[in-house]
Structure 1
Amino acid sequence: MNRARKQHPYWLILVAVLGILLSSCGFPGMVSTTQQLPPVKPTPSPTPLPPARLPQDDGRHNNLTEWWYYTGHLTAKEATGKLRHYGFEFVIFQVLRADLPPFYASHFAITDKSKGTFQYDQRRIMSPTIARNDVKGFDLHIGDWTMQGYNGQDHLAASMQNYAITLQLAARKPAALHNGDGLIPYGLAGFSYYYSRTKMNVSGSIVDHGQMLQIEQGQAWMDHQWGDFLTLASGGWEWFSLQLHDNSEIMVYYIRDASGKVLATYVGYVDASGKDIVLPASALHTTILEQWKSPHTGFVYPSGWKIEITDKRIPITLLIKPVLKDQELVVKQTTGNVYWEGAVTVEGQKHGKPVTGDGYVELTGFTKKRQKAPGFS
C-alpha cells in the first residue's frame, strides 16, 4: 500500500527505515533488520531544490529512501481460448543509511481473479553495490526478481510458488509529476520527489501453476518516489489508483495520524490526453460501504467505497469493490509491517454518463489498536 501513492501511499509519511528491529512493525518502505542502525535526524530541505527531470530521474538516487512500485491488471489466454484474469503488485524498495551497503526489499503478489485466490512473496538483500544515480534508467535485481526501465519502457520479472511473470511495459501517457514539478517539500521533515505513470500497456507472459500463458491485454500503474524524509511513526493511509475505461485515471489518498484524523488529502485526475489536474480536497467525499476482518491478523479494513468528486469540471461518482476480500500482505520479514493492497473494480458515472474501470487500493495503519475502520467525511 503507491499507491499516492506512493505524495503516495508509501509516501509522504514514510520511512525512518532500518532504524527498527526485526520484531517491530511499520509501513511499506519501513524496513526491519536484525541490528539497530544509526538513527537519522530530520533536516531542512535544501533551498532551492531542482525539479524532477525525466528520463534522467528514472534511475537510482543517493537518498535515504526510494522505491519503484507497479500494480496492474492482466488478461491471458489458455490454449483452449479461455481467458484468465489477474491483478499483480511488484515493488522494490531501496534504503540507504550511513556507510552501510544499500538495503533492498521487495514484494510480489498475484490476485487470481478467475480462481478467486491471492498469493504473495517477499525478499530482501543487503547489496555490496553502492547506490548511484543511474545514467540511463534503473536495473534492479533481488535474486532472479528483476526490474528494469527507462523513459516509460520497462521490464519486470518475478516468480513464486504457482505464479511467475515476465512483462514488458510501455507508457501510453507522459509521467504525472506531482505538485507540478515532481517535488514535495516537507520543511524540517525533509523532501521527496514523486511521479507516476498512470497508464502503461503490458505484454509478455504469466505462468499459472506451471502453465505459461501469453498476455492478451494488460495495463499497469507505476510510481517512483525518492528523497530524504522521515516517518510520522504510527499513522496510516488509504490510497486509490483508478484506471477508467474512458482512458482517464484518478489518484486519491488520505493520510491519517494514529487517532485516525486526516492530515492530508490528495485528488489527482489525468485526462485522456495525459494532462494532470489536481482537484481541491473539498471536492472529495468518500464513504465506506463495508468492512472486513482479517483471519490472519485480526485487523479490520474498509472493504468497499463510494467516492464522489463534486468539482464542476469533473463531476464523478464511483463505487469501488475489492475483487477479493483477502488481499492482505504480512511482510514482517522484509519491511516489518502488515498492509492490505489489492485489485478492485470500478463503476459509476462521470459527467452523468456510465463509466467503468479497474484499480488498486492500499490500506495501512489498520492495526489491532484500530479495530474499527473510520469513515471518511
Structure 2
Amino acid sequence: MAHLKTLLALGIVVLLGCPVMASSPHDGLVEYLDGCLARGDRQVVQEMVRSLEATPLPATPSHEALIESIHGVLSLRGEETLAGRVLRVRRARLARTFVRGLEPIVFPLDHGAHNRCLSEWWYFNGHVTVGGERHGYMITFFKVFPKLNFVHAALTNLDTREHVFHRTFHSPKAAAAATGRLDVRFGKDSVREEPDGRFRLCFTVKGRRLDLLLRPQRAPMMVNGNGLIDMPEGTTSRYYSFTRLETVGTAVWPDGSTRPVEGRSWADHQWGNFVAFFRPWDWFGLQLDDGTDYNIFEFRPGVGFAGRCHVNVLGPDGRLEVFEKIAMARTSWWKSPVSHDLFVTSWALHVPGSGESFTVTTQVVDQEMPRTAWYDLPPAYWEGAVNVVRSGSTTVSGVGFSEHFPYRRPVRTRRPLPATN
C-alpha cells in the first residue's frame, strides 16, 4: 500500500501536467517504476499503465518523453504485454497531435549527455596510419538507463590483419558524461571538445594507447534532415554524424615506443528512449574519394515489424539527400570461430533514389566484437573497416566502416539489384 500511495502521488503530479523542473517528477516516476519491476512488484506498474490508458496526458514534448521512457523501461525489463499497451497509447496520441519533441539539435549543448534518455552513445571510427602501418579503429561510449555504462573499442592492423578489442563495463563512479558540452570519461577512455572545436579522443586497446585530435572538415549530417529517426519499438531517436574528421595524434605501443598517427575519422552521437540492441540492424558509414559520404542503416524485419531503411547522402557541396529504399545483396559470409555466429564479408548495394551502386568488402574478415563474459549483455556483432568500389570501376572508390549483428543463415536480397556491366 505504501508503494501504491507513492506512485499515486507521483502520478497526480504528472497527470496535472506540472512544469518539468531540473529534478523532474517525471524522472522520479520512471525510476520508481523501474525499481518496482526490479523487485517483482507489478501491481503498481499495472495501475500506472491503466492510468495512462484512461487519462490523456497534456500534449507536450516532456510528456511524450515520459511515455517513451515508460515504454523503454518496460521493454528493458521484459514486460512485453505492458510495453505493448503503452506503445498503443503513444501511437494513439501521435494520431491526434503533431507534437514529437522536435526541438532543434543545438551545439555544443547536444554534444553532451541527455540523462533523461533510456539509451545514448558516442561513437567514433577511423582509418589512420600508425607509424606508417594502416589501421582501423572504433570506440563507443554507451550509457543506458539507469546506471549501465560500458565501452567497446577495437584496433585492427590492416596490413598484418591483427585485430584487438575490449568490451568493458564501468561502475557509475568510474563513468561520467557532462551535460551541455562534450566531456565523456569512462575509466581511462575519454572524449571531450577542445576550445578550438576539435575533439580530443583518448583510449587504450590491449596496451595500445591512442591520443587523437579530430577536426571536423564539414558541418554535421543531421540524419533524415532533422536529426530524428523512428525506432522499431515505436519510439524515436535523435541522431547526427560528423562524417569527415581530420585526425592527427600519437600512439604509445606496448613496447613503449611512440608513433605518429594521421588519417580520417567519423563520429556518431545518438540518444533517445529506445532499447539498445532491441532489433538487429545493418549499418554503413562510407567516405567516398569524391567527397560524398553515405550513412546507411536498415533495421531487419521481424515479428510484427516490416523492417525500415534510412539512407542519408551528404554531397561534396554539403547538400543532404535522404532516401528510404536500398537494395542490399549479401554476397559472401564468414562464420566466427569464437561465437560461431554468421557474419557478412561483402555486399552489393544499390540506392534507387541516387542511382548509385557499390560493392562493399571487408578489409579484414575477422573484426568481430564477441561477448567476453556471462554478464556482457549486448550480443556479438561485427564492426570494422571496409573498402568501397563503385559499379563499373575496378579501383577502390572509398573506405568506410560497417556494423551488423549476426545472422542465423545466409539470406538473399529482398529487392532486385539493377543489372551492371
Name the TM tier (shorter chain): 0.7 to 0.9
Deviation at 1:371, TM superposition (A): 2.9
In 2, the alpha carbon distance for the partners of 1:110 and 1:260 equals 37
- Cα 1:129–1:254 shift into 2, 3 Å: same
In 2, the alpha carbon distance for the partners of 1:154 and 1:192 equals 23
**1:372 aligns with one of 400, 404, 410:** 410
The aligned amino acid for 1:255 is F
**1:95 aligns with one of 108, 124, 144:** 144
Whether the 8 Å contact between 1:244 and 1:355 is mirrored in structure 2 is no
Listed one character per residue, the Cα deviations across residues 76-98 of structure 1 (whole Å, up to 9, x for unaligned) are 33xxxxx210000100011122x
Whether the 8 Å contact between 1:173 and 1:273 is mirrored in structure 2 is no
Report what 1:358 is aligned to.
399
In 2, the alpha carbon distance for the partners of 1:270 and 1:310 equals 16
Report what 1:86 is aligned to.
135
Report what 1:275 is aligned to.
319
1:54-65 to 2 correspondences below 5 Å: 54-62=107-115, 63-65=117-119
More displaced stretch, 47-56 vs 148-157: 148-157
Q: What's the RMSD between the two structures over aligned residues?
A: 3.2
Listed one character per residue, the Cα deviations across residues 146-171 of structure 1 (whole Å, up to 9, x for unaligned) are 12137962111111324221111011
- Cα 1:141–1:187 shift into 2, 3 Å: closer
**2:235 aligns with one of 190, 201, 207:** 190
**1:70 aligns with one of 109, 124, 134:** 124
1:33-72 to 2 correspondences below 5 Å: 41=83, 44=90, 47-49=99-101, 50-62=103-115, 63-72=117-126
Q: Does 1:337 align with 2:409?
A: no
The aligned amino acid for 1:243 is Q
1:215-364 to 2 correspondences below 5 Å: 215=261, 217-230=262-275, 233=278, 235-258=279-302, 263-281=307-325, 284-311=326-353, 314-333=354-373, 334-349=376-391, 356-364=397-405
In 2, the alpha carbon distance for the partners of 1:38 and 1:213 equals 47
The aligned amino acid for 2:397 is T
- Cα 1:260–1:274 shift into 2, 3 Å: farther
Unaligned runs of 5+ in 2: 1-33, 39-75, 416-421
Deviation at 1:346, TM superposition (A): 1.2
Give the number of the structure with larger relative contact order, counting CA–CA contacts within 8 Å between residues 6 or more apart: 1
In 1, the alpha carbon distance for the partners of 2:359 and 2:304 equals 23
In 1, the alpha carbon distance for the partners of 2:232 and 2:341 equals 33
Deviation at 1:332, TM superposition (A): 4.9
Whether the 8 Å contact between 2:174 and 2:187 is mirrored in structure 1 is no
In 2, the alpha carbon distance for the partners of 1:289 and 1:166 equals 37
TM-score of the two chains, using structure 1 as the length reference: 0.77
- Cα 1:275–1:327 shift into 2, 3 Å: same
Q: Larger % of helix: which?
A: 2
Unaligned runs of 5+ in 1: 1-16, 21-35, 78-82
TM-score of the two chains, using structure 2 as the length reference: 0.69
In 1, the alpha carbon distance for the partners of 2:171 and 2:365 equals 34
- Cα 1:206–1:133 shift into 2, 3 Å: closer
In 1, the alpha carbon distance for the partners of 2:228 and 2:217 equals 23
In 1, the alpha carbon distance for the partners of 2:410 and 2:100 equals 42
In 2, the alpha carbon distance for the partners of 1:249 and 1:178 equals 12
Report what 2:3 is aligned to.
none
In 2, the alpha carbon distance for the partners of 1:57 and 1:357 equals 30
In 2, the alpha carbon distance for the partners of 1:187 and 1:261 equals 7
Deviation at 1:206, TM superposition (A): 2.2
Q: How many pairs align?
A: 326
- Cα 1:355–1:121 shift into 2, 3 Å: closer
The aligned amino acid for 2:404 is L
Q: Does 1:149 align with 2:180?
A: no
Whether the 8 Å contact between 2:188 and 2:203 is mirrored in structure 1 is yes
Deviation at 1:355, TM superposition (A): 6.1
Identity across matched positions, percent: 24
Report what 2:258 is aligned to.
212
The aligned amino acid for 1:337 is P
SS in 1 for 2:120: strand
The aligned amino acid for 1:375 is T
- Cα 1:343–1:152 shift into 2, 3 Å: farther
- Cα 1:163–1:187 shift into 2, 3 Å: closer
Deviation at 1:127, TM superposition (A): 1.2
In 2, the alpha carbon distance for the partners of 1:133 and 1:48 equals 25
In 2, the alpha carbon distance for the partners of 1:95 and 1:250 equals 27
- Cα 1:330–1:280 shift into 2, 3 Å: closer
Report what 2:49 is aligned to.
none
SS in 2 for 1:179: helix
Deviation at 1:353, TM superposition (A): 10
The aligned amino acid for 1:320 is V
The aligned amino acid for 1:244 is L
Report what 2:41 is aligned to.
none
Listed one character per residue, the Cα deviations across residues 330-357 of structure 1 (whole Å, up to 9, x for unaligned) are 135444321011111112249x897611
In 1, the alpha carbon distance for the partners of 2:377 and 2:320 equals 31
SS in 1 for 2:307: strand
